[in-house]
Amino acid sequence: MTSPAIGLSLFDAFREPIEHSQILTSLSTQWENVSTRITANNTDFVDFVMMATRNHGHDNDRYFDALFLLLNAQ
């Protein structure tokens, strides 16, 4: 069994880190987190990081279906 987690990291044009989100985790078989927030004006790149922590067992496989990040330029 693994614990899935996701997080975001924001970077400027020089790939310097601006901000890191909190890491979101859940043992649920279905996630839905819809939120709105404003990113820093100098955000040029976003890393969408998916992780899994093996709690027990032999594999560390975790799969995400229909995972997306929507950014609106204002």
pLDDT digits (tens, 9 = 90+) for 21-49: 888 887 777 777 667 777 888 899 999 88
Mean pLDDT of the chain: 80
Measured CA to CA in angstroms, residue 19 lies from 7, 16, 31, 49 at distances of 11, 9, 23, 13
pLDDT over 80 at 9, yes or no? yes
CA atoms of 5 and 44, how far apart (whole Å):
23
